[in-house]
């Protein structure tokens, strides 16, 4: 079990995978004080979401910019410097050594933390092999985690299926952030490596990223509160 270094209610990160700032603001209103931490990714980020990120951070919410940067080192570094001014807590980059090194160096002195995306949670071994990799998912996740730790990356994005093994490898110093969260009975969608909130926390995840199971619920606030209940029970 994880030490209680993160308040239980701050462990849920709701992915604002929505088409406009207006729809995101409406969802944030509905969720109210049930959610303290939001993730903004491609869909909203390219539709005005970066300004919303700054507004949210200014209003006391925490923000995870899931931009999954990956480019030559200089471009990654300059991008990270720009993102560092937006007020976000987390920014993702893909877990390639040049990319991680550039991002870590460029975030120095800012409050921004870099998360390395190990292997996307929609991938299984077959998908990885189709993409040209010889390693299976668990071996590639672990190899990338070791590289990330050696390069000073602040945290890892993986499926909760790898959380227990990663915790043994990286200890308590790196944030383990896990999408692929599915409360019992929710649709899997395109996710292939999934766990319930309770099992993910028990496996060692620090933060749970949840999109559709909250956004598409008839009562999103009740869905978020149900996840908080699972998290609290798993930490008790």
Q: Which residues bind ligand LLZGTKA7 (CB under 6 A)?
A: 15, 17, 41, 66, 117, 120-121, 157, 179-180, 189, 191, 209-213
Residue number closest to ligand LLZGTKA7, CB atom: 211
Choice between 65 and 102, CB closer to ligand LLZGTKA7: 65
The least distance separating ligand LLZGTKA7 from the CB of residue 66, rounded to whole angstroms, comes to 6
Choice between 109 and 185, CB closer to ligand LLZGTKA7: 185
180 is in an annotated binding site: no
39 is in an annotated binding site: yes
Q: Is 127 a known active-site residue?
A: no
Q: Cβ of 151: how many Cβ atoms within 10 Å?
A: 19
211 is in an annotated binding site: yes
72 is in an annotated binding site: yes
41 is in an annotated binding site: no
Q: Distance between CA atoms of 16 and 43, rounded to whole angstroms?
A: 9
Give the active site residue among 68, 125, 127, 139: 68
Contacts of 163 (CB under 8 A, 6+ apart): 176, 178, 200, 203, 204, 205
70 is in an annotated binding site: yes
8 Å CB contact between 190 and 172: no
Helix (H, G, I), strand (E, B) or coil at 13: strand
* Burial group, residue 100, by CB count within 10 angstroms (0-12, 13-18, 19+): buried
Q: Is 124 a known active-site residue?
A: no
Q: Which structure tokens are listed for 123?
A: 């991938």
Choice between 80 and 207, CB closer to ligand LLZGTKA7: 207
- Three-point CA angle 114, 138, 202, nearest 5°: 75
Choice between 87 and 213, CB closer to ligand LLZGTKA7: 213
Give the active site residue among 10, 71, 127, 139: 71
Q: Which structure tokens are listed for 156?
A: 């890892």
Q: Is 68 a known active-site residue?
A: yes
Give the active site residue among 10, 61, 62, 66: 66
Residue 39: name the closest of 22, 56, 23, 26 by CA. Answer: 56
Contacts of 2 (CB under 8 A, 6+ apart): 172, 201, 204, 206, 235
Cα–Cα distance list, 180 to 30, 195, 235 (Å): 23, 7, 19
The least distance separating ligand LLZGTKA7 from the CB of residue 109, rounded to whole angstroms, comes to 27
Residue 113: name the closest of 91, 82, 93, 98 by CA. Answer: 91
The least distance separating ligand LLZGTKA7 from the CB of residue 188, rounded to whole angstroms, comes to 9
Binding-site positions for substrate read 17, 39, 66-75, 121, 182, 191, 211-212
**Residues involved in catalysis:** 66, 68, 71
What residue numbers does the annotated binding site cover? 17, 39, 66-75, 121, 182, 191, 211-212
């Amino acid at each position: 079990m994880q030490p209680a270094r993160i308040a239980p209610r701050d462990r849920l990160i709701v992915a604002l995978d929505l088409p406009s700032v207006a729809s995101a603001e409406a969802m944030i209103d509905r969720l109210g004080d049930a959610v303290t931490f939001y993730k903004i990714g491609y869909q909203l980020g390219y539709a005005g979401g970066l300004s919303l990120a700054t507004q949210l951070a200014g209003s006391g919410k925490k923000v995870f910019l899931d931009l999954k940067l990956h480019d030559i080192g200089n471009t990654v570094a300059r991008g990270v410097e720009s993102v560092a001014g937006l007020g976000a807590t987390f920014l993702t980059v893909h877990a390639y050594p040049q990319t991680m090194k550039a991002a870590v160096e460029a975030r120095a002195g800012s409050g921004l933390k870099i998360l390395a995306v190990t292997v996307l949670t929609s991938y299984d071994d077959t998908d990885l092999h189709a993409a040209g990799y010889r390693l299976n998912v668990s071996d590639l996740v672990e190899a990338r985690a070791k590289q990330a730790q050696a390069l000073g990356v602040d945290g890892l994005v993986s499926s909760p299926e790898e959380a227990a093994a990663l915790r043994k490898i990286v200890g308590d110093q790196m944030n383990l952030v896990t999408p692929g969260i599915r409360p019992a009975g929710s649709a899997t969608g395109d996710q292939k490596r999934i766990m319930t909130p309770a099992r993910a926390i028990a496996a060692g995840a620090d933060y749970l990223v949840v999109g559709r199971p909250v956004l598409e619920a008839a009562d999103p606030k009740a869905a978020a509160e149900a996840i908080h209940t699972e998290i609290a029970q798993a930490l008790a």
